[in-house]
């Protein structure tokens, strides 16, 4: 295991924000993941599993623990089933499956996360979510024990998976898809719409807030007049108000200040409490 000290987390975050990690490593197999987790456990280190670096906001001081970058990126196809490493691009998987006429993951196109991150957050879009076609998940506990969870044993909710309550790492997932003649057309329409309505080329962490029942966070933020609001280098996107972008030199405290202002104003003017979707990772 190659261990780095002081790795800047801004370099592995789609937000391009974050100070240094105390320890940092990359893993490319379940065996390497076991070694990394065993190291963290034996040294009593808090650890964080990182995929593509989306959906996280690191503290400006960094992370006083062990960051493990999951690079397990194999992809194995067998008719309508696909077994894929947790570090594999979720967006690429959506494109590849649709290209061969398999339906179920078209919505993944353009989502800038890893397969492991998508399972962990139960990522979704266009009335679909990761759990819909998930068959099983391979997992390593922080003790090094390997486990296999079938879908029937897992309870998913909107942007929630039971893995958020567990200590360890997702190493692989298997999906069962269905043959659909126009899967590629469906996927292309989704990515085209996403390009028009989301700031995909900007530095962001994806959606900041979860959508409340019967509404959308972006609509509420725009309704209270905060679209385009800027604090420091952080800007509420003029394209989609549920995205905060790093417009240049943004710090975590800039983003957190915007999050607080959004939360307070939406609450005071609409009575709705917005819940964070992005994960803020404190220094500890």
**Total domain count, the chain:** 3
What is the maximum alpha-carbon separation in the chain? Answer: 52
| CA dist list (Å): 271 to 209, 213, 242 | 16, 13, 18
The candidate with the shortest Cα–Cα distance to 32, out of 136, 146, 155, 160, is: 146
Mean pLDDT of 37-63: 96
Q: Is 79 in the same domain as 176?
A: yes
Please check whether residue 34 is in contact with residue 144, taking contact to mean a CB–CB distance below 8 angstroms: yes
CATH of the domain at 30: 3.30.43.10
Whether residue 126 is predicted with pLDDT greater than 90 in this model: the reply is no
In a domain, 164, yes or no: yes
How far is it, in rounded angstroms, from Cα 199 to Cα 191? 12
The single-letter DSSP state of residue 108 is G
Give the domain CATH number at 80: 3.30.465.10
The whole-number average pLDDT for the span 107-124 is 95
- Say if residue 64 is in the same domain as residue 88: no
Catalytic residues: 159, 207, 277
Of 54, 70, 86, which residue sits at a domain end?
70
Alpha-carbon distances of 110 from 15, 190, 200, 246, 261, rounded to whole Å: 16, 9, 8, 19, 28
Full residue range of the structural domain in which residue 249 is found: 199-281
H/E segment holding residue 207:
strand 204-207
Q: What is the pTM of this model?
A: 0.94
- pLDDT band of residue 191 (cuts 50, 70, 90) is very high
Is the distance from CB of 53 to CB of 284 less than 8 angstroms? Answer: no
The H or E element spanning position 42 is helix 30-42
Task: Judge whether 50 and 56 are in contact, CB under 8 Å.
Answer: yes
Residues 151 and 232 in one domain: no
Q: What is the pLDDT of residues 84-105, one digit of tens each?
A: 999 999 999 999 999 999 999 9
Residues 161 and 210 in one domain: no
> What distances in angstroms separate CA 175 from CA 55, 135, 151, 259, one per listed residue?
22, 5, 10, 35
Q: Encode pLDDT of 157-189 as tens digits.
A: 999 999 999 999 999 999 999 999 999 999 999
Whole-number percent of the chain with pLDDT over 70: 100
- Which pLDDT does position 273 carry in this prediction? 97
| pLDDT score, position 1 | 85
* 164 and 112 within one domain: yes
Helix (H, G, I), strand (E, B) or coil at 253: helix
CATH code of 239's domain: 3.90.78.10
Domain boundary among 150, 183, 216: 183
CB 73 within 8 A of CB 93: no
Confidence (pLDDT) at 142: 94
| 65 shares a domain with 80 | no
């Amino acid at each position: 295991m190659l261990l780095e000290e002081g790795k800047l987390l801004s370099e592995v975050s789609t937000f391009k924000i974050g100070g240094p990690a105390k320890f940092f490593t990359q893993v490319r197999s379940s065996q390497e993941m076991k070694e990394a987790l065993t190291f963290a456990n034996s040294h009593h280190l808090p650890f964080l599993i990182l995929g593509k670096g989306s959906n996280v906001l690191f503290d400006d001081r960094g992370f006083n623990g062990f960051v493990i970058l999951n690079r397990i990126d194999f992809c194995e196809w067998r008719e309508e089933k696909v077994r894929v490493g947790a570090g594999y691009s979720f967006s690429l998987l959506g494109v590849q499956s649709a290209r061969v006429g398999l339906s179920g993951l078209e919505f993944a196109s353009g989502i800038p996360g890893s397969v492991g991150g998508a399972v962990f957050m139960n990522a979704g879009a266009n009335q679909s979510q990761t759990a819909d076609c998930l068959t099983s998940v391979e997992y390593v506990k922080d003790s090094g024990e390997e486990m296999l969870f079938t879908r029937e044993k897992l309870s998913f909710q909107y942007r929630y998976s039971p893995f958020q309550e567990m200590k360890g790492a997702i190493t692989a997932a298997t999906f069962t898809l269905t043959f659909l003649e126009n899967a590629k057309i469906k996927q292309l329409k989704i990515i085209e719409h996403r390009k028009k309505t989301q700031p995909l080329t900007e530095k962001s962490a994806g959606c900041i807030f979860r959508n409340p029942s019967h509404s959308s966070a972006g609509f509420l933020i725009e309704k209270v007049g905060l679209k385009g609001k800027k604090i420091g280098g952080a800007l509420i996107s003029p394209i989609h108000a549920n995205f905060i972008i790093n417009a240049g030199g943004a710090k975590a405290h800039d983003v957190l200040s915007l999050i607080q202002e959004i939360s307070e104003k939406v609450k005071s003017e609409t009575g709705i409490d917005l819940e964070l979707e992005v994960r803020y990772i404190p220094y500890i």
